[in-house]
């Protein structure tokens, strides 16, 4: 699908890169429609091509939002499990604190650090998946509003 549109009007022309312009505010979307309407020969086809591109963009955002939502749901039990391991291991370390100078204590402490690192990695991944889901979901909603504006102005 076209990623750019060319608008020609009496006083000149304008090229809009759709990927950079959308999603946009309602005000800017309405302003773009008024500029497109200056291109009397092609205004309907320009608006239609933008709508088609936006529908593809919305579908792509929805796909990515679902993908990250699934990853988030999949990782949550792993995060909870790792969190429980950290708490359990921390309790164990506290009970054997008197052994600090023994090789067994150092071994347990090393294992604890590995479990902590795994927990941090999982927790960061969980946060990243949730953030990505919210980003794509929000983008999808904004694109949908742009589609609605263009449909009512057609």
Give the pLDDT confidence of 22-35 residue by residue, as tens digits: 999 999 999 999 99
Per-residue confidence (pLDDT) for residue 27, from 0 to 100: 95
Domain that residue 132 falls in = 4-153
Query: Which own/partner contact pairs does 126-135 have at CB distance under 8 Å and 24+ positions apart?
Result: 126/72, 126/75, 126/76, 126/79, 129/68, 129/69, 129/71, 129/72, 129/75, 130/68, 130/72, 132/64, 132/68, 133/65, 133/68, 133/69, 133/72
Question: pLDDT band for position 154 (50/70/90)?
Answer: low
The mean per-residue pLDDT over the stretch 34-63 comes to 93
Q: Is the pLDDT of residue 1 over 60?
A: no
Q: Is the pLDDT of residue 2 over 80?
A: no
The mean per-residue pLDDT over the stretch 39-61 comes to 93
Per-residue confidence (pLDDT) for residue 101, from 0 to 100: 79
The mean per-residue pLDDT over the stretch 110-121 comes to 97
Share of the chain above pLDDT 90, in %: 75
pLDDT digits (tens, 9 = 90+) for 67-89: 999 999 999 999 999 999 999 99
Q: What total of structural domains would you count in the chain?
A: 1
The mean per-residue pLDDT over the stretch 15-22 comes to 95
Look over the chain and give the mean of its residue pLDDT values, rounded to a whole number: 93
Per-residue confidence (pLDDT) for residue 123, from 0 to 100: 98
pTM equals 0.83
């Amino acid at each position: 699908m076209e990623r750019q549109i060319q608008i020609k009007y009496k006083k000149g022309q304008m090229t809009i890169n759709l990927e950079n312009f959308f999603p946009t505010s309602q005000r800017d979307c309405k302003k773009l429609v008024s500029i497109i309407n200056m291109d009397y020969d092609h205004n309907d086809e320009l608006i239609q091509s933008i709508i088609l591109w936006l529908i593809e963009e919305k579908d792509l955002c929805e796909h990515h939002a679902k993908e990250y939502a699934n990853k988030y749901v999949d990782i949550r039990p792993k995060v909870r499990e790792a969190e429980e391991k950290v708490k359990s291991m921390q309790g164990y370390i506290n009970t054997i604190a008197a052994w600090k100078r023994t090789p067994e204590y150092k071994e347990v402490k090393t294992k604890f650090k590995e479990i902590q690192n795994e927990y941090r990695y999982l927790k960061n991944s969980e946060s990243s998946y949730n953030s990505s889901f919210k980003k794509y979901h929000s983008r999808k909603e904004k694109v949908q509003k742009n589609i609605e504006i263009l449909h009512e102005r057609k």
